[in-house]
């Protein structure tokens, strides 16, 4: 396993001339672009065809049971995603944010975390939520408009979904600084934080500032960027000329690009990064190279800005299919297993539909509740006046 | 005057509990007391450590409490506020210094989108006991962005509390009370009054943080002000008294939530109200007060609520700030107009 120093501290007298390992800036600009897959730079352990390959720096011992677990996670969260998408189409949700195609990136990263680690999601992190023990039903209220996320972020160590692009990166940096100030960093029992954001977010000032803060305070923070190629309608090349993982170098910490459709590689790289962080060698940037196979949200129409060819190409790199092929080829799973996972998915989908269609609307008092920890007499008066007004309609026609 | 030495041993047992302090020193002592009382209280900001802040409000704190409790942060306001959010979630009570009023806007997104809303979003599962200190207002001959009064933006945002101190005793107590609050508090400090002195009793039982206070009783008209304009209003009341006009002066202290009960009570007696503020008047604290007072005191008013404020312009070049800022004469002129209505 290579040490972070190889990314963090380039030789001061290193000549600018190109070497096989290190292209010049000019070569980078002329050659590898943000949207290129990256060839040798891409960490991959399971090819799209389901072939197990090795990587000189990253590998992972995985048992049949563990891999079956990852497969099951991905199938179930994909079902959650498809069900929720359908619930929006039936008018049960106001909007849905599909994760289709990003299952390996999220399950791999999420399963790399320990219970004591903290996660700061953006709003497409349904797979991460799953790995943190959040019941998928708890995601529905956000998109149905009954609540803004009901899980306990402290107990689950999973921050609320953050909708303003990039805000959570700074919040995560602060939390990770706190882990360090608390003396929870420095050995194998150490804590770490993961922060999730997308390719579009990398243009935000808050992401830049989060990189700076985490770096200068040596925060135990793994920046996990899911480059799904599209920020609504804008391709990654609208956000960056350089491959995103290479930005880390400018901030003085390692940046690694992993095949985000490869759950094994994502798990291996994220585990490594979290361990480095918990030992005090953070922060680290991981760019998970993946693809948003569905629309940005159910309100979006990708046919206006991207070719269906592209989607067809990425379908060949499906994160779930390659695991299935490998499980079968290794004889690590039989027909019965796949049937049972499908049955679990059916059951989960049914629970989701049942739950969603029976969600009650919140009461009017909810407008005013918990604006402040210690209350406000001005707001109390406004609430009382409104509730008094509402009560005037009680029992009668509006 | 010679401020008492801030050596911690002497601070713990001052010769007398009543000291004459500047607002600046009182804030410094208040911050120190808060840090001594709770190890989770930390300071964050630009140049607040070794330098002690550009106004020296945090002078000596890093030396005594260490670099992990008094953080010289990178130079980015969104970063200061955004990381304070994460630290607060982790159990800390961050006190952020924004170096000057006009520099708060890079942090505006974090303040409005996260600081103000996380408690509501999580229905109380996340509390953010964050204090954001902002030296504000003009009158110091500064370049652009160093003299602004942005408090209305924050009072307009649900989820934030906003206060402003006007004298050393309040500075000492209010900063500690703000740090004790489980709600995020924007703490506006009247920078041009930093070096004005007053008596501070460090053993007295302080009043509540979110309460307005009548500083001077009067019968003919009421002046309401906060922060730097409290001194101006008191001066105006003194000058008016020489002419036989009795003005009541109320220090608002809390801008969100507003505590207007003392104002209503006063206006019901005097029938006249003049609100004094450096901030531009449109959609501001002063307009909010005017709206509420006309609603609550409609039959008591002998004249419309008048406002003496900065103009609805960007803050002008400093050679013009004496004209821009409300002063004693403009306040008295408004009093005359109100009395003559």
Q: CA of A204: which chain B residue's CA is closest? A: B78
Whether residues A370 and B123 touch (CB distance < 8 A) is answered with yes
Identify whether B59 is part of a domain: yes
* CATH code at position B223: 3.40.50.920
A274, A267 in Cβ contact below 8 A? Answer: no
**Residues of chain B found within 8 Å of residue A379, distances taken between Cβ atoms:** 158, 257
**Cβ separation A175–B90 shorter than 8 A:** yes
The answer to whether residue A156 is domain-embedded is yes
**CATH number, position B73:** 3.40.50.970
Distances in whole angstroms, Cα of residue A205 to Cα of each of A197, A198, A290, B102, B322: 13, 14, 23, 18, 37
Question: Is the minimum CB–CB distance between A50 and chain B shorter than 8 Å?
Answer: no
- For residue B221, what are the domain limits? 213-340
Q: Which of A120, A123, A170, A251 to mutate to test the interface with B (most CBs of B within 10 A)?
A: A170
User: Based on the structure, what is the number of domains in chain A?
Assistant: 2
User: Do residues B189 and B64 both lie within one domain?
Assistant: yes
Assigned domain for A5 exists:
no
| pLDDT at B17 (0 to 100) | 87
B309 bridge partner residues: B277
Q: What percent of chain A has pLDDT over 90?
A: 87
Q: Point out the domain boundary residue: B178, B201, B224.
A: B201
Res A2: pLDDT? 43
pLDDT number for residue A127: 98
Is A122 touching B (CB cutoff 8 A)? no
Q: Quick check: is A210 in a domain?
A: yes
pLDDT band at residue B3 under the 50/70/90 scheme: very low
Do B195 and B228 lie in one domain? The reply is no
Banded model confidence at residue A1, pLDDT cuts 50, 70, 90: very low
- Chain A residues near residue B124 by CB distance under 8 angstroms: 370, 373
**Is B89–A175 a contact, with Cβ atoms under 8 angstroms apart?**
yes
Q: In which residue are the tokens 């320990």 written? A: A114
Query: Closest chain B residue to A181 measured between Cα atoms?
Result: B68
DSSP B195: T
Instruction: Please check whether residues A299 and A190 belong to one and the same domain.
Output: yes
Domain count, chain B: 2
In a domain, B207, yes or no: no
A389 and A346 share a domain? no
pLDDT of the residue at A32 = 61
Residues of A belonging to the active site: 292, 296, 305
Q: Is the pLDDT score of A308 beyond 80? A: yes
Chain A residue numbers with beta carbons less than 8 Å from the beta carbon of B66 are: none
Q: Interior CA angle at A207 toward A126 and A142, to 5°?
A: 30
Q: Measured between CB atoms, does A374 come within 8 Å of chain B? A: yes
Q: Rounded to an integer, what distance in angstroms lies between the CA atom of residue A110 and that of residue A194?
A: 9
Query: According to the model, what pLDDT value does residue A21 have?
Result: 64
B chain contacts of residue A177, beta-carbon cutoff 8 Å: 83, 86-87
- Given this model, what pLDDT does residue A92 score? 98
Residues A348-376 have pLDDT tens digits of 999 999 999 999 999 999 999 999 999 99
- Whether B113 is covered by a domain: the verdict is yes
pLDDT value for A37: 73
Whether chain A has a CB inside 8 Å of the CB on B206: the answer is no
Please give the residue of chain B at the shortest CA–CA distance from A366: B123
Are B194 and B122 within one domain? yes
pLDDT tens-digit readout, A38-87: 777 899 999 999 999 999 999 999 999 999 999 999 999 999 999 999 99
**Confidence (pLDDT) at A10:** 40
Residues B173 and B221 in one domain: no
Helix, strand and coil in chain A, % to nearest 5? 50, 10, 45
Same domain, A108 and A174: yes
A250 & A321 share domain: yes
Confidence (pLDDT) at B7: 46
Summary mean pLDDT of chain B: 95
> What would the mean pLDDT of B4-19 be, rounded to a whole number?
58
Interface membership of A162 toward B (CB under 8 Å):
yes
Query: Tokens standing for A97?
Result: 């944010």
Min Cα separation B162/chain A (Å)? 12
Note whether A5 contacts B: Cβ–Cβ < 8 A. Answer: no
Picking from B114, B124, B158, the nearest residue to A167 by CB comes out as B114
Asked if the Cβ–Cβ distance from A149 to B122 is below 8 Å, we say: yes
Closest Cα of chain B to A151: distance in Å?
Answer: 8
Residues B56-110: tens digit of each pLDDT: 999 999 999 999 999 999 999 999 999 999 999 999 999 999 999 999 999 999 9
- State whether A350 and A386 are in the same domain: no
Q: What residue in A sits closest to B84 (Cα-Cα)?
A: A174
B158: contact with A, CB 8 A cutoff: yes
B254 touches chain A (CB under 8 A): no
Q: Is the Cβ pair B125, A153 closer than 8 Å?
A: yes
For residue B2, tell me if it sits in a domain.
no
Q: What is the CATH number of the domain that holds A264?
A: 3.40.50.970
* Residue A23 pLDDT: 64
DSSP letter string over B287-329?
HHHHHHHHHHSTTT-SS--EEEEE-SSSPPPGGGHHHHS--HH
* Domain span holding position A174: 25-357
Nearest to B122 among A153, A172, A209 (CB): A153
Whose CA is closest to B195, among B146, B157, B140, B275?
Answer: B140
Q: How many Cβ pairs closer than 8 A exist between chain A and B?
A: 136
Segment A162-187 mean pLDDT:
98
Nearest by CB to residue A167, choosing from B113, B124, B126, is: B113
- B300, B191: one domain: no
B24 and B117, same domain (yes or no): yes
Q: Are residues B258 and B135 in the same domain?
A: no
- Residues A111, A46, single domain; the answer is yes
How would residue B6 be classed by pLDDT, with cut points 50, 70 and 90?
very low
Quick: pLDDT tens for A246-275.
999 999 999 999 999 999 999 999 999 999
pLDDT of residue B78: 98
For A3-32, how does the pLDDT look when each residue is reduced to its tens digit (9 = 90+)? 444 444 344 444 444 455 676 666 555 556
Same domain? For B83 and B173 the reply is: yes
Asked if residue B259 is part of any domain, the answer here is yes
Under the phi-then-psi rule, with left for phi > 0, alpha for psi from -120 to 50, and beta for the rest, what region is A369?
beta
Q: Per the CB < 8 Å rule, is A153 touching B126?
A: yes
Q: Which residue of A has its CA nearest to B115?
A: A171
pLDDT: which is higher, B7 or A228: A228
Shared-domain flag, residues A379 and A351: no
Same domain, B167 and B266: no
A339 and A398 assigned to the same domain = no
What is the predicted pLDDT for the residue at B163? 98
Beta strands in A51-138 (DSSP E): 118-120
Asked if B151 and B271 sit in the same domain, the reply is no
Question: Does residue A321 sit in the same domain as residue A398?
Answer: no
Backbone angles phi, psi at A228, to 5 degrees: -95, 15
Write out the two tokens for B109. 């997104």
Query: Looking at the partner chain, which of A159, A178, A374 has a beta carbon nearest the beta carbon of B183?
Result: A374
CB contacts of A148 in chain B (<8 Å) are 120-122
Q: Are residues A156 and A228 in the same domain?
A: yes
- The reply to whether B34 falls in a domain is yes
Q: Are residues A380 and A317 in the same domain?
A: no
Q: Are residues B24 and B98 in the same domain?
A: yes
For chain B, where are the alpha helices, taking DSSP H only?
8-12, 23-37, 61-65, 77-89, 108-110, 118-121, 151-155, 168-180, 229-242, 261-270, 285-296, 321-324, 328-340
The pLDDT score that the predictor gives to residue A31 is: 54
Q: What average pLDDT score do residues B21-41 get?
A: 98
Asked if residue A3 is part of any domain, the answer here is no
CB A46 within 8 A of CB A264: yes
Q: What is the DSSP string of A360-379?
A: PPPPGGGGGTTS-SS--HHH
- Check CB contact under 8 Å for A210 and B82: yes
CA of A210 vs chain B CAs: smallest distance (Å): 7
Residues linked to residue A288 through DSSP beta bridges, in sequence order: A226, A258
Q: What is the pLDDT of residues B204-240, one digit of tens each?
A: 989 999 999 999 999 999 999 999 999 999 999 999 9
A378 touches chain B (CB under 8 A): yes
Q: Which two tokens stand for residue A216?
A: 């200068």
Q: Are residues B163 and B64 in the same domain?
A: yes
Residue A97 and residue A220 in one domain? yes
């Amino acid at each position: 396993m290579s040490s972070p120093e190889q990314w963090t501290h380039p030789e001061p007298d290193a000549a600018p001339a190109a070497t096989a390992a290190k292209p010049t800036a000019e070569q980078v600009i002329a050659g590898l672009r943000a949207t290129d897959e990256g060839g040798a730079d891409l960490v991959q352990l399971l090819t799209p065809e389901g072939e197990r390959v090795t990587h000189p720096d990253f590998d992972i011992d995985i048992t049949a049971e563990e891999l079956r677990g990852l497969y099951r996670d991905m199938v179930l969260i994909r079902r959650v995603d498809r069900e929720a998408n359908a619930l929006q189409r039936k008018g049960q949700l106001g909007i849905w944010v599909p994760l289709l195609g990003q299952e390996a990136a999220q399950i791999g990263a999420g399963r790399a975390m320990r219970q004591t680690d903290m996660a700061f999601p953006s709003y497409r992190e349904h797979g991460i939520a799953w790995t943190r023990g959040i019941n998928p039903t708890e995601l529905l209220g956000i998109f149905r408009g009954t609540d803004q996320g009901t899980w306990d972020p402290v107990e689950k160590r999973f921050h609320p979904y953050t909708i303003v692009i990039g805000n959570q990166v700074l919040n995560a940096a602060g939390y990770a600084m706190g882990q360090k100030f608390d003396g929870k960093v420095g050995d194998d029992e150490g804590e770490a934080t993961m922060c999730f954001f997308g390719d579009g977010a990398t243009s935000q000032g808050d992401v830049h500032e989060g990189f700076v803060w985490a770096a200068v305070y040596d925060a135990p923070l793994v920046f996990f960027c899911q480059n799904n190629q599209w920020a609504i309608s804008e391709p990654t090349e609208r956000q960056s000329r350089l491959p995103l993982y290479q930005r880390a170098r400018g901030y003085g910490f390692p940046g690694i690009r992993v095949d985000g459709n490869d759950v094994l590689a994502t798990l291996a790289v994220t585990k490594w990064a979290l361990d480095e962080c918990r030992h005090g060698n953070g922060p680290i940037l991981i760019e998970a190279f993946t693809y948003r196979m569905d629309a940005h949200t159910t309100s979006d129409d990708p046919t206006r800005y991207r070719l269906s060819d592209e989607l067809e190409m990425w379908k060949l790199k499906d994160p779930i299919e390659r695991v299935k092929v490998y499980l079968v080829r290794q004889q690590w799973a039989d027909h019965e297993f796949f049937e049972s996972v499908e049955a679990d998915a059916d059951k989960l989908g049914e629970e989701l539909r049942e739950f969603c269609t029976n969600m009650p609307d919140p009461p009017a008092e909810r407008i005013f509740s918990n604006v402040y920890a210690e209350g406000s007499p001005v707001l109390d008066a406004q609430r009382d006046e409104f509730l008094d007004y509402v009560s005037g309609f009680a029992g009668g026609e509006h | 005057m010679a401020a008492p030495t801030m050596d911690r041993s002497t601070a713990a047992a001052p010769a007398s509990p009543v000291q004459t302090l500047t607002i600046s020193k009182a804030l410094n002592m208040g911050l120190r007391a808060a840090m001594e009382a709770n190890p989770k209280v930390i300071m964050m900001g630009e140049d607040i450590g070794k330098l002690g802040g550009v106004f020296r409000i945090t002078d000596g704190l890093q030396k005594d409490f260490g670099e992990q409790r008094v953080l010289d942060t990178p130079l980015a306001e969104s970063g200061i506020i955004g990381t304070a959010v994460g630290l607060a979630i982790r159990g800390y009570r961050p006190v952020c210094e924004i170096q000057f009023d006009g520099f708060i806007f890079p942090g505006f997104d974090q303040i409005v989108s996260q600081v103000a809303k996380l408690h509501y979003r999580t229905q109380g599962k996340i509390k953010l006991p964050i204090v954001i200190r902002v030296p504000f207002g003009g009158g110091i001959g500064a370049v652009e962005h160093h003299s602004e009064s942005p408090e209305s933006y924050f009072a307009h945002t649900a989820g934030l509390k906003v206060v402003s101190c006007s004298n050393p005793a309040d500075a000492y107590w209010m900063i500690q009370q703000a740090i004790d609050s489980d709600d995020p508090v924007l703490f506006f400090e009247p920078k041009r009054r930093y070096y004005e002195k007053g008596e501070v009793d460090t053993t007295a039982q302080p009043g509540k943080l979110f309460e307005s206070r009548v500083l001077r009783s009067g019968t003919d008209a009421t002046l309401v002000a906060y922060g730097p304009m409290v001194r101006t209003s008191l001066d105006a009341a003194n000058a008016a008294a020489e002419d036989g006009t009795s003005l009541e002066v109320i220090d608002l202290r809390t801008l969100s939530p507003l505590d207007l009960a003392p104002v209503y009570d006063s206006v019901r007696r005097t029938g006249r109200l003049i609100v004094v503020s450096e901030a531009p008047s449109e959609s501001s604290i002063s307009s909010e007060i005017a709206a509420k007072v006309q609603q609550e005191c409609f039959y008591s008013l002998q004249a419309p609520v008048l406002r003496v404020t900065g103009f609805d312009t960007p803050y002008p070049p400093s050679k013009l700030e004496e004209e821009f800022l409300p002063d004693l004469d403009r306040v008295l002129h408004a009093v005359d107009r109100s009395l003559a209505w």
